[in-house]
Structure 1
Amino acid sequence: MQIQDNDLKLLRIFATIAQCGGFSAAQSVLNISASGISEYMAQLEARLGVRLCERGRGGFRLTDDGASLYEATQRLLGAVETFHMEAGAVRHRLQGVLRFGLIEATLTDLCSPLLPAIRTFGQAAPDVRLDLHIEAPSSMVQHVLDGRLHLAVGPFPTRTPGIAYTSLYREEQGLYCATAHPLSERANQQVPACELSGCRLAARSYLAEQELSLLHMSKAAATVDNVEGRAMLILSGNHIGFLPPHYAKPWVDRGLICRIDPDQYATHLDFDIITRNNAESTRVVQAFREHLLAAAAHSLAASKP
């Protein structure tokens, strides 16, 4: 299939429909009527000779061919965006769309370089549109590998072939329980690991083994790959779990949760910048990476006495 301008238009419409989960949800995003969307989809299916989605009383779903095309479309549109950035670099301009991923629940961390880096980069490159995706670490790795993300920032305890890792900063982690939990009465005292064996741990899915080892536990009662879900289980009073202190602070201040033996159960997450290995970065990606590293260095220097 030779890709023409109209094909790119149809593929962008198709990608939006897939992301929105149906024709109706995509109408407001595309600013196209339902009949118009149907017509565009009919053109794309006729162009390819396959049915891309099922829609009707059973709801909307991509066919196997549609799912495959959606993955290929994401890679193609990513390559087009990268071309725009490289073309801008020829004219010594930073422009295009920068697609990057972040783990959730970092905004309240005053030591994080993310917010200052985004601020200074936006001032230095006002013609670059930021396309920010909040994802789990495993998803970000996959999307950097397949080109859907130019780079990502998060904790990646497992090293994946094909990914380049650059250390960025550390985030403190503490062990918490609800004030309704039996441990809360002794939270500020020394709590031996043997006393935690009967507790139900809400572990991070990508760090479960590390947490179990630290607490001398054999298994977790729940695994959650996001901070909010873990906080919910802790607040229920049924589980203990690790949280970043900056994220836990509002509930600590309200007396809803407390930190358990901070001296013994203090750990951290290492945040890295990840990019695809051996991939030549555009000037836009290089510039954003430099802003991240500069902000991290400034934050580290400011935290030293």
Structure 2
Amino acid sequence: MAAFALSNYDLRHLRIFLAVVEHGGVSAAAYRLGASLSTVSRDLSALEKRIGIQLCRRGRSGFSLTPQGEDVHRAAIRLFSELQSFEQTIQSTRQTLGGGFNLGVIDNVVTNPDAGVVAALAQMHRVFPDMLINVSVHTDPMIDVQVRERRIDVGVTGQPEWLAPLEYKPAFFEQHRLYMSRQSPYLKATRAALASSQSGKEASVPYISRDYRTDVFQEFERRYDLQVAGRGSNLESILAAVLAGVGCALLPVHFVKSAETDGLVEIPTPHTPLRVQFYFVYRRDATNRRAIVALLDRFGG
């Protein structure tokens, strides 16, 4: 039998395999990776075909590793641990006060005056004037994954996944209120339905749901009979739906102020405003730790 030699494709497929095992199935892994179900399933099958071993059982009975799959899983963990050690050694060897630093945020966090992100980046620039600082915007569920995969050094998230290799530090709170268009045909009925903690169950309230799901949002949504009239993946899309009169939505107060529109009216409820806790997230074994410390110091981290 010919010797087995790893290729770049093998490494990518092994990472997919590790994600499938970590999340307990192909569907969950596809969601966390931001990939399609068919792509993850195809990559897993390609890995099994490549090494000639059935790694897992998947179907209606659920997901489980075969005995051979357990062996490969342990070996893959050791492999990436060694690769990580190698990368850290190289990074430490070549690291200077320059280099690059990648910060990942969700939309409109940087413009939140309570976040202090701009001030923190300014402090980092003073400490590391030659460092190239990159800021990228991501959907909230992807922040943790991007940090874990070392695509970004530090993420700012309001929806922590609490992944094992990562460290989470409280960063700031973001205040949210419920808003609706002044021109919405549902405005009067919505106000009446949400006027007390009890009356919200008496009439369905048209509501714009966010892909960004926090425990605070979900607790609020459980209190009332909210009928999902639309969904949005970012604040701009939700604002557009609200202004169009489709329904009400929870929006950050700072975002509504910055939008400078008089087309919105706040819908007071006994359970608003809401305070959403945001966190800094980074790898415990982060190689660029000096830059991370400089960022967290601005927030007392």
- Tell whether 2:253 aligns with 1:249: no
5+ long unaligned stretches in structure 2: 8-41, 47-79
Change (3 A) 1:190 1:287: same
**Aligned AA (2:275):** H
Equivalent in the alignment of 1:110: 113
**Matches of 2:240 and 2:275, distance apart in 1:** 21
Partner of 2:230: 222
Counterpart selection for 1:192 from 193, 196, 199: 196
Q: Which residue identity does 1:216 align to in structure 2?
A: Y
Instruction: Return the match for 1:183 from 183, 187, 190.
Output: 187
Amino-acid identity (%): 16
Deviations 1:82-119 (A, max 9, x none): 66752354xxx422122221111123311112110111
TM-score (normalizing by structure 2)? 0.61
Tell me the amino acid that sits aligned with residue 281 of structure 1.
A
Length, aligned pairs only: 221
Cα root mean square deviation, aligned: 3.6
Code of the aligned partner of 2:286: S
* Counterparts of 1:134 and 1:145, CA distance in 2: 16
Equivalent of residue 133 in structure 2, options 107, 124, 130: 130
- Does the CA-based 8 Å contact 2:102-2:134 persist in structure 1? yes
1:165 is displaced (CA, Å) by: 1.2
> CA shift at 1:134, angstroms?
0.5
- Structure 1 equivalent of residue 291 of structure 2: 288
State the Cα distance separating 1:158 from its structure 2 match: 3.8
Among residues 246, 252, 261, which one is paired with 2:268 in the alignment?
261
Aligned residues of 1:184 and 1:258 also touching (Cα < 8 A): no
1:240 maps onto 2:251 in alignment = no
* In 1: Cα distance, 2:215 partner to 2:171 partner: 23
Specify the alignment match of 1:152 in structure 2: 155
1 CA distance for matches of 2:138 and 2:258?
A: 23
- Change over 3 Å in CA distance of 1:80–1:122 after alignment to 2: farther
In the TM superposition, residue 217 of structure 1 has moved relative to its aligned partner by 3.0
Contact 2:156 2:279 in 1 (8 A): yes
C-alpha change, 1:190 and 1:263, in structure 2 (3 Å) is same
Deviation at 1:2, TM superposition (A): 10
> In 2 relative to 1, CA 81–94 (structure 1 residues): closer, same or farther, beyond 3 Å?
farther
The letter of the residue matching 1:134 is V
Contact 2:140/2:158, CA 8 A, preserved across alignment: yes
Residue 273 in structure 1 maps to residue 276 in structure 2: no
